[in-house]
Copies of this chain bind each other. A is one copy, B any other.
């Protein structure tokens, strides 16, 4: 394989939990030999009082900042196992993933998404979902490259 994948991940708000940031940093580093990973952090709106309005504003900025096809992460999406996810990752050179904030994303983002993918039927914290997505991407790339991954 003579090319490197480009993985763009867009999420809303910084990762406040230090332990999750440490895990996120770990997987970004592990992903580096296989892919150019770019994480874009959108500033989150204040949700106090007007949650729906704030979500709509976030959605507008989100949709503007995504130039290409994107996969939205949401517990309401379709379920895949790690092999199926690796199959999805293997098909494209450019991949964009979007993750919402603590209150998810506005329905307009669902409408624009090419695929809505669920990491689990269980609800995870939006910050934990970031770590889990990165770990699944690393797992997918080790599967694609036939690299052993001790878990």
* Copies of this chain: 2
Most B-side CB within 10 Å, residue of A81, A122, A125, A135: A122
Is there an interface contact between B19 and A150, defined as CB atoms closer than 8 Å?
no
**Residues of A74-117 whose CB lies within 8 A of B:** 75, 79-82, 85, 102
- On whether A135 and B139 interact (CB within 8 A), knowing A22-B18, A151-B102, the answer reads no
Which residues does chain B contribute within 8 Å of A128, judged by CB atoms?
Answer: 131-132, 135
Is there an interface contact between A121 and B79, defined as CB atoms closer than 8 Å?
yes
Query: Which A residues have a C-beta under 8 Å from some C-beta of B?
Result: 17-20, 22-23, 26, 75, 79-82, 85, 102, 119-128, 131-132, 135-136, 139, 150-151
